[in-house]
């Protein structure tokens, strides 16, 4: 019974290590925790843009990778671009903002 228990403990430790290593982030890929954090940031930014009356949220696409938010889409003016960037920077967790929006 003792050997079986030791083997089981060793197996569980090894499985835990493999799962942690499998979830680690790399330069190109996010770990599980970072993906969840980025999803939350994206949702908060979308909500902040939606709640800003001067912006049309349907015009602005939001993507987040490791805290860097990329805004894209076609908006009506430079002031809309500036406002979207300002609103995005005000969201917690945003490290920086990449602007790929264009004026239509």
pLDDT digits (tens, 9 = 90+) for 43-82: 999 999 999 999 999 999 999 999 999 999 999 999 999 9
Q: How far apart are CA 57 and CA 47, in angstroms?
A: 9
Report CA torsion sign: 94, 96, 100, 104.
positive
- CATH architecture under which domain 28-103 falls: 2-Layer Sandwich (3.30)
Q: Quickly count: other Cβ atoms within 10 Å of residue 4's Cβ.
A: 8
Domain residue limits, the chain: 28-103
pLDDT digits (tens, 9 = 90+) for 19-41: 544 544 555 555 656 666 999 99
Q: How far apart are CA 85 and CA 80, in angstroms?
A: 9
pLDDT of residue 21: 46
């Amino acid at each position: 019974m003792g050997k079986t228990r030791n083997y089981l403990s060793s197996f569980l430790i090894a499985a835990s290590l493999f799962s942690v290593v499998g979830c680690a982030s790399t330069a190109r890929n996010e770990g599980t925790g970072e993906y969840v954090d980025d999803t939350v940031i994206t949702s908060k930014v979308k909500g902040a843009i939606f709640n800003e009356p001067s912006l049309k949220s349907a015009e602005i696409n939001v993507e987040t990778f490791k805290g860097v938010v990329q805004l894209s889409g076609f908006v009506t003016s430079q002031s809309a671009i500036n406002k979207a960037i300002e609103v995005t920077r005000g969201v917690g967790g945003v490290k920086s903002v990449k602007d790929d929006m264009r004026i239509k």
